[in-house]
Amino acid sequence: MNIYLLLNWKMNSTLIESAHLVEKYIEFLLDAPELLKVTIFPPAPYIFPLYEKLANTNSVTVGAQNVFEEPFGAYTGEISPIMISEACSYVMVGHSERRTYFNETNSSINKKIHLIMNNSLTPVLCVGEDLDTYNSGQVDEFIELQIKSACDNIKNIPANRFIVAYEPTWAIGSGLTPPPEIINERALLIKNVITDMGLMTDNASCPVLYGGSVNSINAKSFLELDNIAGLLIGQASLDLNQIGSIINQAFRQAKNNSKLI
């Protein structure tokens, strides 16, 4: 089973700093097993320069933090999936910050996913509850609605061409995380919803990742969970000490997975 590390830089770093980060990532990933999949999600202006910098390595790929829901048009400041399809392998969609600060809805997220897949890119759908929902005990229903709305009229996705990241809104940047056993239960719920929807071809397993205040101390406990296939990492991905440690932990987990094949 692949282990995914998706590194979301958000709106941080300069191009020079970004190039330095990438160089260090490559060093960390020397001799990494094939099952370890690392993708950076830099600010949009850096996508193509970093893609070119990574042209001679297979250890790191590039993703986009967001795209618009239309292929072309008079949408000043927006980016269409087709514009970044040459450089990117993955596109994040539905991140809680996009939902909160830019009022993205499940309907617009659904349009984006259709367009992303039509351009042969892999969507990374982010789902997760806010603190009020978490405390109400209605998390399962909340997440199920997010998935079903975002994936309306989507069927027969090939294996490893669709990823879901579980990221509770209240955990992002807070230093707080749900207990690992709860994260494992949420990931199983997500897998079951996707299976019930018939989303994947031949009921292929959908990778589910965890995101939300991931750091070098708690990463191992998440990577060891049965239903978690990797991590969506924000702030810690910009800290070389932290990300170096997390990559090393994922490196070992991927080697263990290789032995099971």
Catalytic residue numbers, as ranges: 95, 167
Six-digit token pair at 243? Answer: 């990300």
- Is 158 in contact with 121 (CB distance < 8 Å)? no
Six-digit token pair at 147? Answer: 């998935």
- Is 92 in contact with 109 (CB distance < 8 Å)? no
From residue 199, alpha-carbon distances to 59, 90, 150, 154, 223 in Å are: 29, 18, 12, 7, 25
Six-digit token pair at 151? Answer: 């994936």
What sections of 29-105 are H helices per DSSP?
47-53, 81-84, 96-101
